[in-house]
Amino acid sequence: MTRSPLRIALCFHFNQNLNQFSAVASRACYRGLLSVLRRHARLPFMLHISGTLLHAAVARSGTAG
């Protein structure tokens, strides 16, 4: 019996409401996961990033226009 390779789809949903804990979630969750994904660059994955998180990232970066 031969085994076929396992095929899996990974989708990560990044969602964070705009509040005083946004920076904590970024450090505790998102950065760690992104660091792991960088080390496994051949691993296919999808990211879904909520609008509130994108808004917070733009506001924090100072590039809002």
Q: Is residue 25 within 8 Å of residue 33, measured between CB atoms?
A: no
Residue 61 has pLDDT above 80, yes or no: no
Question: Could you report the per-residue pLDDT of 1-45, keeping only the tens digit for each?
Answer: 789 988 888 999 988 766 666 677 767 778 888 899 999 988 899
- pTM, rounded to two decimals: 0.63
**Domain coverage including residue 15:** 10-62
Residue 58 lies in a domain: yes
Asked if 14 and 51 count as a contact pair (C-beta separation under 8 A), the reply is no
Look at residue 3 and tell me if it is in a domain: no
28/63 Cα distance (integer angstroms): 24
* Residue 24 located in a structural domain: yes
Whether 48 is in a domain gets the answer yes
Assess if residue 19 is contained within a domain: yes
Give how many domains the chain has, as a whole number: 1
Cα separations (Å) of 31 from 1, 5, 23, 27? 41, 29, 11, 6
